[in-house]
Structure 1
Amino acid sequence: MDNALSRVNKRLNDRRFAAADNAHGLSSADTVFHYQVVEEVITGTYQGGQIQTGHLIGRVTGPDTIELLYHCLTTEGEMLAGWSRGIVGADQTGRTTLTFEWGWLSGASGGGVSSYIELAD
């Protein structure tokens, strides 16, 4: 798992992402996710678009897989919480990509699949 940890850490730690495709979720291209990774522990914040503020916590589960729990407060004052399982990859230009299967645990129902792209510095 050490090699997996270093690959995920390199691709996620101190990097920012926005939604590329999230048809059934609240995050959009205006929502910025900022990840931190220490060993197998993933933490992060997100805000923008319909999200006033949000936090996430998770772990590295394999060479290119992660799982997260997240919660947020929307601009409409709703409190929501959910889960996701993701794949960490890269596009043709080398930018990190994230693809998640996700669902709501509290405050909403349903779920879906979404993808995110690393933002340029």
Structure 2
Amino acid sequence: MLPSLDGLVFAPVARADDGEVDPDTRFHYRELDGRVWAAYTGGEVVHGHLVGTRLGDTVAFRYVQLNRAGETSGGRCVSTLTRLPDGRLRLDETWAWESREGRGTSAVEELLPAAD
């Protein structure tokens, strides 16, 4: 099993056709005893939260967010955690809105802390 997501920051690789998160969105992950949650913001997303569980290298969660137009939406996602050649972590995601039409796949990759 790959390391904990706790304290890591991720950013999307690209914007999915039916999605609202984009490379300017930042996900701040926490993990404890198989529970996973994150707050996220940036790009079209003013405020977002996700909460779910991790079993091995699979993370399943629900998400809810507020966009710049003042609309709220939510959905579900299952992600597979892998390690990139440079050592960072990546989540390959399969998601679907539950509050509106749309589904897709996307990926977020770990951002390394800035060097001082």
If the length of structure 1 is used for normalisation, what is the TM-score? 0.88
Higher helix share: 1
The one of 77, 85, 91 equivalent to 2:78 is 85
Which residue does 1:53 correspond to in 2? 47
Shift of 1:23: 2.0
Deviations 1:36-81 (A, max 9, x none): 00111001100000000001100012x2111010000001101000
- Check whether the contact 1:8–1:64 (CA below 8 A) recurs between aligned residues: no
Q: How many residues align?
A: 112
Which residue does 1:17 correspond to in 2? 10
Shift of 1:120: 1.5
- Return the letter of the residue paired with 2:41: Q
Question: Please, which runs of 5 or more residues in structure 2 have no aligned partner?
Answer: none
Which residue does 2:105 correspond to in 1? 113
- Check whether the contact 1:47–1:54 (CA below 8 A) recurs between aligned residues: yes
Which residue does 1:104 correspond to in 2? 97
Alignment of 1:30 onto 2:62: no
If the length of structure 2 is used for normalisation, what is the TM-score? 0.92
CA RMSD, aligned part only? Answer: 1.1
2-structure distance, mates of 1:99, 1:56: 16
Question: Please, which runs of 5 or more residues in structure 1 have no aligned partner?
Answer: none
- Return the letter of the residue paired with 1:117: E
Secondary structure of 1:14 counterpart: coil
* Percent of aligned pairs sharing the same letter: 31
